[in-house]
Structure 1
Amino acid sequence: MQDDELIALLKPIRTVAIVGLSPREDRPSHDVARYLQAAGLRIVPVNPTLPAGTTILGESVQPDLSSAEAALTAEGLTLDVVDIFRRSEDVPPIVEQALQTQAKLVWLQLGIRNEAAAVAVTTAGRQMVMDRCLKIEWRRLLGSA
């Protein structure tokens, strides 16, 4: 994907559901989420392994993407991006959930690729970026937070 295409995908983003967001500050997902918050984006942590009522970076953790979208909708917001921090083999069911939301972009972080999921996303008329870091691309193309 060319830089101009990435810029066109990134510029309209206001909300990001981060699947696999860890509460541990030393984890890459936490670093990316903190950066995106500082850049002015609304993040929604999605992590079904954490107990109800958990917060990360001041945001309530949601158990799934449907709940994440509902939380945003309750505030008059829409879900723009699903950013996935899970192993490549774990991606297809997450993408199935993402396609049940209004998110127009599914983003797979560095080292994460799944061609079958990419086909499902593009067949549904959505966009997918694989094996790239949202923080790195945001900073490189749109400026620092």
Structure 2
Amino acid sequence: MDLKSIFEKNKNIAVVGFSDKSYRDSFNIARYLKSKGFNVFGVNPRLKGMNIEGIQCYEKLEDIPEDIHIVNVFRNPECLVDLVNEVSKLKKKPNVIWTQLEVINPEAKKIAEERDFIYIENKCIFVEHRNISLN
């Protein structure tokens, strides 16, 4: 599936590692995605229960009451295997696991692909969305 199709068909995005700090990429990219019509959910235990600029925050992926289509990851690469395992245990599996620039873990990628996830790594979701100019 090409990136344009991914964006067109997947509207619910969980941002793992979401920050409430306006200088952080996770904050700004989540806001951008929301402004482009995506339903964005923040995942950060510290922000659980908070609503930051219309982005509801949850402790864990499994706490989000909506089906998630894309899990966008702003975490250290060494966390990715555990995250892929967490995503795999969700009742309704997302279609895409997307890691941001420099978030690379070959083992996590292998596991995700073996479990039939679309796995996009080392790409900025903001840059890719902007470049295909959907909105």
- Structure 2 length normalisation: TM-score? 0.91
Q: CA deviation at 1:99?
A: 1.6
- Pair 1:16–1:136, CA change in 2 (3 A): same
Q: How does 1:95-114 map to 2 (within 5 A)?
A: 95-101=84-90, 102-114=93-105
**Consecutive unaligned residues in structure 1, runs of 5 or more:** 73-77
Give the equivalent residue in structure 1 for 2:111. Answer: 120
Give the equivalent residue in structure 2 for 1:80. Answer: 69
Structure 1 window deviating more from structure 2 (35-44 vs 52-61): it is 52-61
The amino acid of 1:136's aligned partner reads V
**1:73-101 deviation line (CA, Å, top 9, x unaligned):** xxxxx210000000111111111111223
**Consecutive unaligned residues in structure 2, runs of 5 or more:** none
* Among candidates 80, 92, 99, match of residue 81 of structure 2: 92
* Among candidates 17, 24, 29, match of residue 27 of structure 1: 24
Give the equivalent residue in structure 2 for 1:75. Answer: none
The amino acid of 1:53's aligned partner reads G
Give the equivalent residue in structure 2 for 1:63. Answer: 59
Size of the aligned set, in residue pairs, is 133
The amino acid of 1:85's aligned partner reads F
How far apart are the structure 2 equivalents of 1:139 and 1:13?
A: 16
Q: Secondary structure in 1 aligned to 2:15?
A: strand
Give the equivalent residue in structure 2 for 1:48. Answer: 45
Give the CA RMSD over aligned residues: 1.4
The amino acid of 1:37's aligned partner reads K
Give the equivalent residue in structure 2 for 1:129. Answer: 120
Poorly superposed stretches of 4+, deviation over 6 Å: none
Percent identity reads 25
Q: CA deviation at 1:129?
A: 0.4
Q: CA deviation at 1:59?
A: 2.7
Structure 1 window deviating more from structure 2 (124-133 vs 53-62): it is 53-62
* Among candidates 116, 130, 139, match of residue 130 of structure 2: 139
Q: Secondary structure in 2 aligned to 1:11?
A: helix
Q: Secondary structure in 2 aligned to 1:49?
A: helix
